[in-house]
Structure 1
Amino acid sequence: MTPDLICPAGSLPALKTAIDHGADAVYAGFKNATNARNFAGLNFDDKALGSGIEYAHQRGRQVLIAINTFPQPGRIAEWHRAVDAAAEMGVDAVILADVGLLAYARQRHPELRLHLSVQGSATNYEAVNFCRREFGIRRVVLPRVLTLAQVEHVINNTEVEVEVFGFGSLCVMNEGRCWLSSYATGESPNTVGACSPAKYVRWEKRGAQAGEIAGEHMDARLNGILIDTFAPKESAGYPTLCKGRFDVRGDTYYALEEPTSLNVLEVLPQILKIGVAAIKVEGRQRSPTYVAQVTRALRAALDQAGSSSYRVNPAWQADLAKVSEGQQATLGAYNRPWR
């Protein structure tokens, strides 16, 4: 059976774009700290979400709501309201990470379909089965640290549907549980919903210094910390600590993680063979153009991946290369040579 293609929707235009280009479902979040992509200008109020749900359902597609940050002391009611709102608006599932929220959702909305978020960090079938037994989850999104053999081992030992990532940015931390962002800004993706929050980002233009190419340079800072320096005409990425370039003993390079995107086109037949239920695209913070290109390419690939004659179409790779972080791709842990 062909896995569902689950695509990101950071806005109503992105939602419609994903549906129009072949997504089986989209995942979205509310305009607040309950979701892990809580950036200004992104996400949905009730009116926009209602329109999106109607648009998707009219076309036989689904809308999943990510409420995947962890409730903060004294503010738990905000997360409860998000679960209630999602259920009342008729979403097809909510994606939760916190066990307290899972318990609340199951008790308050027993008919609501529950998915365990990648932020829940369930890397083995015992953890998955615990959440099925205690909270009735129907699907788990596995962290991007498992080999395909390890994913298959989980699938073979649980009745819960398994969803894996197929394209998008990687995270050097435990799926967003970032101590770097917390250290630099005092705010974590799993508490306020944003990695390297935009209010701490500063871009500073300056002239060339000794050893640099002549011309105007761009320094990127996060809460005053220099993250990267971009030469004239060099593409500048969003300044996150993990993907910054740093001077280490006189050598400047990506000391923690190089900007790169996961791309599973080469291993799609194996993913189908082991019984993965859904393939997820990262990128709710990305543009509708990104959503269109990735959805179109993966839709075409998935529709052919079950055939013995499957070959990766260069056009698919070209489309994905245009939107890959750092203009490079990896199979990540799926092709890890060690065990």
Structure 2
Amino acid sequence: MELVCPAGTPAALRAAVDAGAHTIYCGFADETNARNFPGLNFSREEMAAGVAYAHRAGAKLLIAINTFPRAGSEDLWHRAVDDAEAVGADAVILADLGLLAYAAEHRSGLRRHLSVQAAAANPDAIMFYAEAFDVKRVVLPRVLSVEEIAAINRDIDVETEVFVFGGLCVMAEGRCSLSSYATGRSPNMHGVCSPASHVVYGEEQEELVSRLAGFTIHKVAKDAPAPYPTLCKGCFSAGGHTGHVFEDPISLDAAELIPRLAEAGVTALKIEGRQRSRAYVSAVVKSFRRATDAIAAGRPVPVSELAHLTEGQTSTLGAYRKIWR
């Protein structure tokens, strides 16, 4: 299966390619990119150089233009699509209907993938995008079980890509009202979920307390690993009980499920982490490249050795097993 790997900087892109990534995804340094953070992402010149570096190694490069255009500013997003074709990208990853229509009409030779931000989670929705905009691949949201993915693949004629490592979104992808309410920063408009600028840590009565925009999210012992304070994975109190509603605040690691995902008809495995360092990218890509090579050769998938790189130093299979149902 194709291994699709993140790169938030040119250095991370080179690290991903050198570590064995089949495909790298990244974004321009502006609002068109759902990871629009200072110090991350690519100028047009850097993107062109990144495409050339990937292609010399036999890898592909995808450009994520996966936010939703603001009214009156559509030209910024249209230019991003135009420039993606100009720099030689192998595909663009889009979510907005209008932007998909623009790309299909004006840049028909540029391959189109449907972003996870579109939250297309059933065959009817996926085939609509395929028939209306000639979408070739859909990135499935992280709320589907393996069985549901297999059922989708039986009914569509589109490639599917699924997340296997990194941050775990348990909401409708990119549409989190919780983060917007708490911080005023919308995930799918600003590319910011629980922005670091709003996070505060403090010690209270032998506990480390994490707050987001004044809301207390977690309390852990001072010597325990502290998860990143994401609202959907915070602790909530109701009916005299305090606990996590969906998943504990830990990272996704679905390496052990790769054989089942292959049987379910998945085309590509995606690693989350464009905000991560090149060392992180290199280590994760190498580990999952060993796994995909093992699958291709008919060997057992090696045991994951990435716990030290996960949130809270532990991991979950998330919705692939959907324990909250």
Does TM-score exceed 0.5, indicating one fold? yes
Q: Structure 1: which 5+ residue stretches go unaligned?
A: none
**Partner residue in 1 for 2:300:** 311
Over 3 Å counting, the alpha-carbon distance change for 1:270 and 1:251 in structure 2 is closer
Secondary structure at 1:40's aligned position in 2?
coil
8 Å Cα contact 1:247/1:253 also seen in 2: yes
Give the Cα–Cα distance (whole angstroms) in 1 for the partners of residues 321 and 226 of structure 2.
29
Secondary structure at 2:263's aligned position in 1?
helix
Q: CA deviation at 1:228?
A: 3.2
Over 3 Å counting, the alpha-carbon distance change for 1:293 and 1:88 in structure 2 is same
Over 3 Å counting, the alpha-carbon distance change for 1:286 and 1:139 in structure 2 is same
Q: CA deviation at 1:337?
A: 7.1
Q: CA deviation at 1:252?
A: 5.3
**Partner residue in 1 for 2:313:** 327
Q: Comparing 72-81 with 130-139, which one deviates more in the overlay? A: 72-81
Q: Quick check: 1:294 aligned with 2:280?
A: no
Q: Comparing 220-229 with 28-37, which one deviates more in the overlay? A: 220-229
8 Å Cα contact 2:227/2:250 also seen in 1: no
How many residue pairs align between the two structures? 325
Q: CA deviation at 1:128?
A: 1.2
Deviations 1:270-311 (A, max 9, x none): 222232111111111112122111111110011112455x33
Q: CA deviation at 1:49?
A: 1.4
Q: Comparing 276-285 with 231-240, which one deviates more in the overlay? A: 231-240
RMSD: 2.2
Deviations 1:170-200 (A, max 9, x none): 1121112111111111221011111122333
* Correspondences of 1:175-214 after superposition (within 5 Å): 175-203=173-201, 205-206=202-203, 208-209=204-205, 212=206
Give the Cα–Cα distance (whole angstroms) in 2 for the partners of residues 177 and 338 of structure 1.
20
Give the Cα–Cα distance (whole angstroms) in 2 for the partners of residues 33 and 234 of structure 1.
36
Q: Quick check: 1:89 aligned with 2:78?
A: no
**Partner residue in 1 for 2:108:** 110
Over 3 Å counting, the alpha-carbon distance change for 1:83 and 1:329 in structure 2 is same
- With the length of structure 2 as denominator, give the TM-score of the two structures: 0.92
8 Å Cα contact 1:248/1:255 also seen in 2: no
**Partner residue in 2 for 1:9:** 7
Q: Comparing 329-338 with 105-114, which one deviates more in the overlay? A: 329-338
Secondary structure at 1:191's aligned position in 2?
helix
- Aligned residues with identical type, % of pairs: 50
Q: CA deviation at 1:157?
A: 1.9
Give the Cα–Cα distance (whole angstroms) in 2 for the partners of residues 229 and 32 of structure 1.
35
Give the Cα–Cα distance (whole angstroms) in 2 for the partners of residues 255 and 155 of structure 1.
29
Counterpart residue type for residue 198 of structure 1: A
**Partner residue in 2 for 1:221:** 211
Counterpart residue type for residue 221 of structure 1: R
Q: CA deviation at 1:333?
A: 2.5
Give the Cα–Cα distance (whole angstroms) in 2 for the partners of residues 36 and 322 of structure 1.
26
Counterpart residue type for residue 199 of structure 1: S
Q: Comparing 293-302 with 145-154, which one deviates more in the overlay? A: 145-154
Q: Comparing 43-52 with 20-29, which one deviates more in the overlay? A: 43-52
Secondary structure at 2:252's aligned position in 1?
strand
- With the length of structure 1 as denominator, give the TM-score of the two structures: 0.88
